[in-house]
Amino acid sequence: MKQSGASSRAYYEVMAFWSNGVLEFSHYSITPLLHRSMRRIIVAPSILAADFSRLGEEIHRVEAAGADWIHCDIMDGHFVDNISFGPEMVGIVSGLTSLPLDVHLMIEHADHYVPRFIKAGANSITVHVEPEAKHDLASTLQRIRESGCRAGLTLNPETPFHLLEPYLDKIDILLIMTVHPGFGGQSFRADQMQKVRRAAKWNKSHERKIDIEVDGGINAHTARLSIENGANVLVAGTSIFHSKDYAKAIRDLRGEPPA
């Protein structure tokens, strides 16, 4: 796992600390929209929507624009009907930025591939709860955390929330998919906000908090809806990389006033 850096901004204070070998964060914000949770809203641009012919430039632009993490979507053509890239590309991205790499494995047998993504420089690795992912979930999560990476768990829109509830105390990030994974540019599914609310309710009843991440159709409007329901991490591809002003797009996602 690479050592991650964080950019400083006037509106935020970010505190990072190690607990049992796992990097954890407390997030605070003073922007009006975020008073509801007082947790810093993290924006993680998904490079799947970037221009790969100039990927280095794209990553540097979102980093300068205020991105917090870089999100890497890994697809194998089996668990989802698309193929993206693998550990080698994650390693290249790791060498291009000091931002944490948030890796989402939409693949079968994630337990087999996790060590390769750890070696490539992932800072957090999220795996799927569905049986179709074909791995021992508890063992995979333990392996991720023992490596020093943050462990994430996710579920498809059609998957019931109760399947992941037994693992909530074993993860650092819960990713709620607001589209069916596999392809960018899909419409946001507002019905998935009930899962965000359930995760936020879990956070309120536990001292140790998890990051609640949303991914799929995230723009300024759906970001606001997600934040209001309890999300604090926004994965966005098209709404950032297809915009003319990356910094404005990121501010709009957070609900920040114009610069």
List, for residues 190-241, the tens digit of each pLDDT value: 999 999 999 999 999 999 999 999 999 999 999 999 999 999 999 999 999 9
Q: Give the model's confidence band at 185: pLDDT under 50 very low, under 70 low, under 90 confident, else very high.
A: low
pLDDT of residue 187: 87
Residue 131 is assigned to a structural domain of this protein: yes
Q: Mark whether 191 is an active-site residue.
A: no
Q: Is the per-residue pLDDT at 189 higher than 80?
A: yes
Q: Is the per-residue pLDDT at 37 higher than 60?
A: no
Residue 6 is assigned to a structural domain of this protein: no
Question: What is the mean pLDDT of the segment spanning 163-173?
Answer: 97
Residue 5 is assigned to a structural domain of this protein: no
Question: What is the mean pLDDT of the segment spanning 132-157?
Answer: 97
Q: Is the per-residue pLDDT at 182 higher than 80?
A: no
Tokens 């505190």 identify what position? 15
Rounded CA-CA distance 92/89 in Å is: 5
Q: Could you give the angle at the alpha carbon of 69 between the alpha carbons of 57 and 121, nearest 5°?
A: 85
Per residue in 238-258, pLDDT (tens digit) is 999 999 999 999 999 999 998
Residue 181 is assigned to a structural domain of this protein: yes
Residue 60 is assigned to a structural domain of this protein: yes
CATH number for the domain harbouring residue 79: 3.20.20.70
Q: Give the model's confidence band at 27: pLDDT under 50 very low, under 70 low, under 90 confident, else very high.
A: very low
Q: Give the model's confidence band at 55: pLDDT under 50 very low, under 70 low, under 90 confident, else very high.
A: very high
16 φ, ψ (degrees, to nearest 5)? -115, 140
Q: Is the per-residue pLDDT at 32 higher than 70?
A: no
Residue 35 is assigned to a structural domain of this protein: yes
Tally of domains in the chain: 1
Rounded CA-CA distance 211/233 in Å is: 7
Q: Which domain holds residue 132?
A: 12-254
Q: Mark whether 211 is an active-site residue.
A: no
Residue 221 is assigned to a structural domain of this protein: yes
Residue from 68, 102, 111, 215 carrying the catalytic annotation? 215
99, 106 Cβ separation under 8 angstroms: no
pLDDT of residue 67: 98
Residue 7 is assigned to a structural domain of this protein: no
Per residue in 66-119, pLDDT (tens digit) is 999 999 999 999 999 999 999 999 999 999 999 999 999 999 999 999 999 999
Q: Is the per-residue pLDDT at 2 higher than 70?
A: no
The alpha carbon of residue 184 and the mean position of all alpha carbons in its chain are separated, in whole angstroms, by 15
Residue from 73, 102, 111, 252 carrying the catalytic annotation? 73
